[in-house]
Amino acid sequence: MPTFSIIDSEREPEPDPGTADDATAAETPPTPPSEKSVPALSRAGQVIAPKTNERVAFIGSTQSGKTTLACHYLAQIKTTPTILVDTKGDGVLNRFARAHGFYEATTPVLPSEQHPRVIVHGPPEADFWDPLFWAVFRLRRSVTYIDELTHLTTNWNDPAGKGLRSLYSTGAGRGHGLWAATQRPSGVPTQAFSECDHVFAFRLSWPDDEDTMRRMLRMPDGRFESRSLPPYGFMYTTHGMNEPVLARAVIPIV
């Protein structure tokens, strides 16, 4: 029976973006549910906090816990300029931004020395956001969090999607982290997910989305049944793992 844990690490990378972080001890886990309510896994592993120059996917339906977990990790960023891309007015994300002093804007703006943390509210249209992504790409380093990725990938292969594609494909080498959440992973281009360093897969609502997650988590035999996950439970994988692990977020609402 897997244990439930979140193992946090110092997430700001060293000057060399490839340097690994040190993990700390796990939080005290809650009492796990019965074996019937979780996927059968051969072992439990560690859930390592993303670094600020990595690509991360938070996937799950509304109120599954994906945004809360993302905000938990975003709150740990101390010095890296951070941009929140809000295309749907998510309540958890906006409460987090207000509580942590993010500068609010309704036009694309970059973090500055005066406002190192920015949340930009805008329409779910790639044309609105692509100039911001290109400007972010030219920064020395940053973390960009996209609240609903499918809103911005409808024009993935068009010129309007080139800035986002560049952040995914080569942004990490320039010190840029790209973290994104989505309720519908089946609507996200394969290239975006293939670039991810960490995947957090929560409960999903639609069969085609679960099929997409089985492929991402390398669980083709159907063991990923997201509706059986416990509250705030998720499957996690990162590079070098032979199979995903089951974990549960033991964190306060932000």
In tens digits, the chain (254 residues) has pLDDT values of 233 344 333 344 444 443 333 332 233 333 333 323 223 222 345 788 899 999 999 999 988 889 989 999 999 999 999 999 999 888 899 999 999 999 999 999 999 999 999 999 999 888 899 999 999 998 889 999 999 999 888 878 777 688 898 899 898 889 999 999 999 999 998 888 888 999 999 999 888 888 888 888 877 666 667 777 887 889 898 888 888 888 877 655 44
* Nearest by Cα to 129 from 140, 120, 141: 120
Q: What are phi and psi of 213, to 5 degrees?
A: -70, -35
Find tokens 């996937």 and name the residue.
59
C-alpha 99/C-alpha 73 separation (Å) is: 14
Q: What is the DSSP string of 78-130?
A: -SS-EEEEESS--HHHHHHHHHTTPEEESS-----SS-SEEEEE--S-HHHHH
The span from the first CA to the last CA of the chain, in angstroms, equals: 29
C-alpha 58/C-alpha 50 separation (Å) is: 11
> What domains, with CATH codes, occur in the chain?
65-181 (3.40.50), 197-243 (no CATH)
Q: What is the DSSP letter of 150?
A: G
Cβ atoms of 75 and 254 closer than 8 Å = yes
112: CB partners within 8 A, 6+ apart: none
- Name the pTM for this structure: 0.81
